[in-house]
Amino acid sequence: MIESPVGVMAVLVAVVAFYFWLEKATRWKIFNYLPPLIWIYATPVLLSNLGLIPYESEAYDFLRLYGLPIFIVLMLIKVDVLGAVRIMGKGVFVMLLGSVGVVFGGVVAYWLGQSLDTGNLFPLPEDSWKAFGTLAGSWIGGTGNMTAAHAALEGTGDHMTMSAAADQMVYLIWLPILLGSKAFADRFNRWTKVPPSRIEQMEVAAAEYDHKESAPTMTQLLYLALLALGFTWIAIELSAKLPPLVLFGATVITASTWLILIVTTLALIGSVTPARKLPGAQPIAMAIIYVYVARVGATMNLSEADLAAVGAFIMMAYIWIVIHGLFILFGAWLFRVDVHTVAIASAANIGGAASAPIVAAHHRETLVPASILMALIGYAAGNYLAILTGRLGQLMAG
């Protein structure tokens, strides 16, 4: 067993680096269906259950307390709401309505799962609201929101396993639907009564948007480090002093929840300052969050896993995604937007920054930069709404 915190951290980083190298070097098609995220989570599960790395380590504690808040700062500081609105127009509101659909759908799916538990047909544990909140984070923003919500709701490895499995099973069906929707563009646009000039206006705005970043200088990296560490320090200090919030006898905001909420708010405040123009934040943030996902996998004890609960959760997730889809369609009809925008808006929710550009490139390649901006808006809202989803389920559970 590797017990040294430095050794454990080296193993986690090695797992992340290996799978991204493997994907790039081999271009195996399996990664189209099971992306590196799944392998990065599953491999530490095996390593810890085989006794090669521990279930508990100071390295895991460090990543939870410091790594996750630092990631949130670096990711959210790049949010450009106005830039997305200039290009996508009312499409941003469709995406936000889709986010509301994720919250509503998550609460409905949790209630339905608990209601159908009669006869043990859908054996979802009562605290599965933590898994619903975790998956809501992924479906509103992305992997970072999923891990942030998981930490804020004080979820276990079981909750992350349910969320990761359902996320992937739904993604395998939902992504082809978003890609295939291009074939129905004309009929869809007639149904939503899209103004003829809308697509042309989007492409003109997209062409004017400058999304290129230069390589960061040493000074710029120091500025990023100061912001990330400073905001993290402030959030940790405040979360330790703020009292827990209790509603109807349930503690809905703990110190962990305060930490995520505070650091998210500070980062969004920073995004409206010149700090947003600092290059290099996003790749550093993504490197941190994938190592954090590996950390969550390492804490999963397979001997305590409930496979029946995972299956039941996946069934509820399919119902959940249908509700999100209905909200997206209603938003398209309400705001009169085209099918390309609708597909990108849903991808920005369900797939995050990884999938939104794929869908955008398939529909209209000029909208790829806008799709990234929309995904970042999902990151901005994801922590708040995912925590809300989980806590609403908690209140329903009594």
Residue 386, pLDDT score: 93
pLDDT score at 358: 81
Q: Is the dihedral of CA 37, 43, 49, 52 positive or negative?
A: negative
- 83-87, 300-304, 340-344, 378-382: range with lowest mean pLDDT: 300-304
Least confident segment among 28-32, 134-138, 255-259, 344-348? 28-32
Query: Side chain identity at 191, as an amino acid letter?
Result: W
**Residue 301 corresponds to which tokens in the numbers above?**
């004890």
Pairwise pLDDT comparison (282 vs 317), residue with the higher score: 317
Tokens of 335: 């705001």
Task: HSE, CB side, 13 Å, CA atoms: give it for residue 29.
Answer: 0
Most confident residue range from 66-75, 221-230, 256-265:
221-230
Share of the chain above pLDDT 90, in %: 41
Least confident of 160-169, 228-237, 241-250: 241-250
User: How far are the Cα atoms of 121, 125, 387 from residue 308, in angstroms, in the given order?
Assistant: 9, 10, 25
Q: By percentage, how much of the chain surpasses pLDDT 70?
A: 96
For residue 107, which amino acid is it? V
Looking at residues 51-73, what average pLDDT do you find?
91
The pLDDT value recorded for residue 106 is 94
Can you give the pLDDT at residue 363? 87
Average pLDDT, the chain: 87
Q: Note the pLDDT tens digit of each residue in 118-177.
A: 556 667 888 889 999 999 999 998 888 899 999 999 888 889 889 988 988 898 889 889
pLDDT digits (tens, 9 = 90+) for 297-306: 888 877 766 7
The pLDDT score that the predictor gives to residue 76 is: 87
- Per-residue pLDDT at 116 exceeds 80: no
What local confidence, expressed as pLDDT, does residue 210 receive? 62
Q: Which of 59-73, 186-200, 255-269 has the lowest mean pLDDT?
A: 186-200
> What's 89-158 look like in SS3?
CCHHHHHHHHHHHHHHHHHHHHHHHHHCCHHHCCCCCHHHHHHHHHHHHHHHCCHHHHHHHHHHCCCCHH
Rounded to two decimals, what is the model's pTM?
A: 0.84
Q: Among 10-24, 196-210, 292-306, name the one with the lowest average pLDDT.
A: 196-210
Average pLDDT for 75-88:
83
For 323-371, write each residue's pLDDT tens digit.
999 999 999 999 999 899 999 999 989 987 778 888 888 888 788 878 8
Task: State the Cα–Cα distance between residues 398 and 306, nearest whole angstrom.
Answer: 23
Task: Compare 103 and 165 and report the one with higher pLDDT.
Answer: 103
